Structure 1
C-alpha cells in the first residue's frame, strides 16, 4: 500500500492541477468556455488575422494574459513546495519553510537592491541572480544554526531575526528610493502577485527553477537516509557536505527565481508538506514531488480564489497565502506544544 499511495496521490494532484488550470483560464471579466479555450490555445498568431474579432480577442485573453499567469503560478508553487519539503528534510524540522525562516525575505531584499539601484538596467538576469545569492546566504546561516541546536524554538527565532533584519534593510532601500512612484511599486511588489505577468517573466525564472527542482529531487534517497541521523546516513554512503550544498543551492535557485518575478509569497512550503506527509508514509524522497505538485495546486487555487472575490482592486496573492498559512502555523505550534506537554 505504501508503494501505491504516492503514485495515486501524485495522479490526483495532477488531475486537480489540470482542473484548476482550465478553471483559471476560463474565469475573468470575459468568461470563456472550454471549447473557446481550446480554440484559442490551438490558434496560431498568423491565422488570427483571418478570424472573427471575438476569436481574436479570446486568443489574446488566453495566450497573452491568462496563460502566463497560470504557468507562472504552477512554476512558483512547485518551487516553493519542493523547497519547503527539502528544507524540512535537511534540517529535520517540520516548521522549516522559506518564508518563515527569512529565505524569501532575503531573496526579496536582493531583488529590491538590484531593481532600485540601477543593476537591473544592465541586465534583467541580474535580478534573479541577486535574489538567489541572498537566499543562498540566508539558507547557509540557518543550516549553521540548525547544526548547533536542534531546538525548533531556536530555529524559528533565528528565522524571525533574519526576516526582521532583511525587512529593515528593504525598508531602508524604500526610504532611500529617489522616486515616490518607485516606492509604491516596490511595496505592492513585495506583497506578492501574479497579475500583469508575461512570458518574459516565465523565460526569466524558468531556467533557474528547473535547475533548482532537479537538484532538490535528486536529494530524495539521501534525505531518506538522513532521517536516521547524520552518523547513520554517513555510514550508508551519504556525502553530507555535498547534500547540504545541493539543497542550499537548489532552495536558493527555486526561491530566489520565484521571488524575483512574483514578489514574496509565503507559507506554501510549510502548509503543503504537512498536508501531504502522512500520505507518502513520511518518506522525504516521496514528499518532494508530491509537495511540488501540491504547491502548484495550492498557489493556483489561491490565485483563483482572490480573482473571484476581488472587486475593482485585486487582492495581492502574498496576502491571501499569509491569511491561509499563518493560522495553519499557529495550529502546528499549538499541536507541538500540547504534544510536548503530554
Structure 2
C-alpha cells in the first residue's frame, strides 16, 4: 500500500463522509436548494474536519510516542494521556465553570501532559512493554475513575448524562468554532512534531547517537511529550476520547516506511484520519434508533489488533 493510495483513499472517504447519508442532502436540494450550502458547510463540514483532524492527531502522536518510548504499545489511550485530557476537560467544565471550547482545550492539554509526565515517572522512557502497559493502564484507569467521580459529584445533577456521548467520542453537533479550537492547536503541534522526524529516527538508535548529531535527547523527549499533550488534549476536550487509533495507525504505517519511525509519522496520520472518518461514517449509516459513539466502534475494531500485537511481542520474546 503506497502513500499515494492512502492519500486517494483518504480523500474519497472525506468526500463520502461529507455527502453521506445522501437522503437529507437530496431532500434539501429539492425542497430548499438555497440551504444546501449551509447544511453542508456549517453542519456537516465541521464533523468531517474534526474526524480527519482528530484521527490524524492520534496517528501522528501515536507514532511519535511509540518511537520515544521504543515500544509499540505506547499510544495516547494506553499511556493514559487521553484519559488525562478527558479528566482535565471535565474538571474545567463542570467544576471550574470554564465551559468555553478554548478553556476546555487548554484544560485537556494540561490533563494529557500530567498523565504523560506521570507515565515517565512511573515507567521510565525505556520501560519494558509489560511495565509500560501496566503503568499506562493504571493511569488510564485512575483518570477514568476520577472523571466518573467528578461527574457524579458535580454541582449539576445532569453532568454525567450530558457528558456521556462526549466521553465515548462523538463528532455530532460540533460547530466550526469548536473545530477551530481543536484543530488549530492540534495542527500546529502536529507540524512541530512532524518536523522532528529525522531526530525521532535517531532517537530510536539511542541517546548517544542523538547527542552525537548535535541534538539534546532529553529536550527532544520533553518536546514530543508536550506537543503530543497539546494536540491530543485539544481534540479530546472537543470530541471526547477515541481509543486504539493511536495504537493501530503507527503499526500499519511502519510497514509502509520500512520500519523507520520518523518516516512513519505522516502515513500514520493519514491512516489514523482514515480510520476515524470510516468509523464515524459507519456510525451515521447504521440504521438504529440512536447514534453509536465513534469510540465504541474504534475499540471494537482495535481490540483484535491489540491482541495480535501482544501475541507477536510474546512470540518474539519466547523465540
Are the counterparts in 2 of residues 113 and 173 from structure 1 also a CA contact under 8 Å?
Answer: yes
Name the SS for the 1:312 alignment partner. Answer: coil
Change (3 A) 1:105 1:148: closer
> Which of 116, 136, 139 is the matching residue for 1:162?
139
| 2: CA distance, partners of 1:268 / 1:276 | 12
| 2: CA distance, partners of 1:65 / 1:303 | 15
Are the counterparts in 1 of residues 84 and 115 from structure 2 also a CA contact under 8 Å?
Answer: yes
Aligned to 2:33: 55
Provide TM-score, normalisation by structure 2: 0.94
Q: Deviations over 1:135-186 (max 9, x none)?
A: 1111122233443753100000000110111112112111212333222011
Does 2:8 correspond to 1:15? yes
Q: Which runs of 5+ in 2 are unaligned?
A: none
Q: How does 1:312-327 map to 2 (within 5 A)?
A: 312-327=289-304
Root-mean-square deviation over aligned CA pairs: 2.0
Aligned to 1:119: 97
| 2: CA distance, partners of 1:85 / 1:220 | 10
Please identify runs of 4+ aligned residues in structure 1 that moved more than 4 A: none
Aligned to 1:334: 311
Name the SS for the 2:262 alignment partner. Answer: helix
Note the C-alpha offset of 1:56.
2.2
Does 2:197 correspond to 1:225? no
Does 2:48 correspond to 1:70? yes
Are the counterparts in 1 of residues 168 and 294 from structure 2 also a CA contact under 8 Å?
Answer: yes
| 1: CA distance, partners of 2:278 / 2:65 | 24
| 2: CA distance, partners of 1:317 / 1:18 | 20
| 2: CA distance, partners of 1:149 / 1:203 | 36
Aligned length: 319
Name the SS for the 2:291 alignment partner. Answer: coil
Aligned to 1:48: none
> Which of 110, 135, 155 is the matching residue for 2:88?
110
Are the counterparts in 2 of residues 193 and 263 from structure 1 also a CA contact under 8 Å?
Answer: yes
Does 2:224 correspond to 1:255? no
Aligned to 2:61: 83
Provide TM-score, normalisation by structure 1: 0.88
Change (3 A) 1:209 1:236: same
Q: Which runs of 5+ in 1 are unaligned?
A: 1-7, 41-51
| 1: CA distance, partners of 2:168 / 2:114 | 22
Are the counterparts in 2 of residues 211 and 253 from structure 1 also a CA contact under 8 Å?
Answer: no
Pair member with larger Rg: 1
Aligned to 1:25: 18
Change (3 A) 1:111 1:76: same
| 2: CA distance, partners of 1:87 / 1:307 | 31
Q: Deviations over 1:25-73 (max 9, x none)?
A: 221262547xx99xx9xxxxxxxxxxx8531232232112211110111
Are the counterparts in 2 of residues 215 and 246 from structure 1 also a CA contact under 8 Å?
Answer: no
Aligned to 1:140: 117
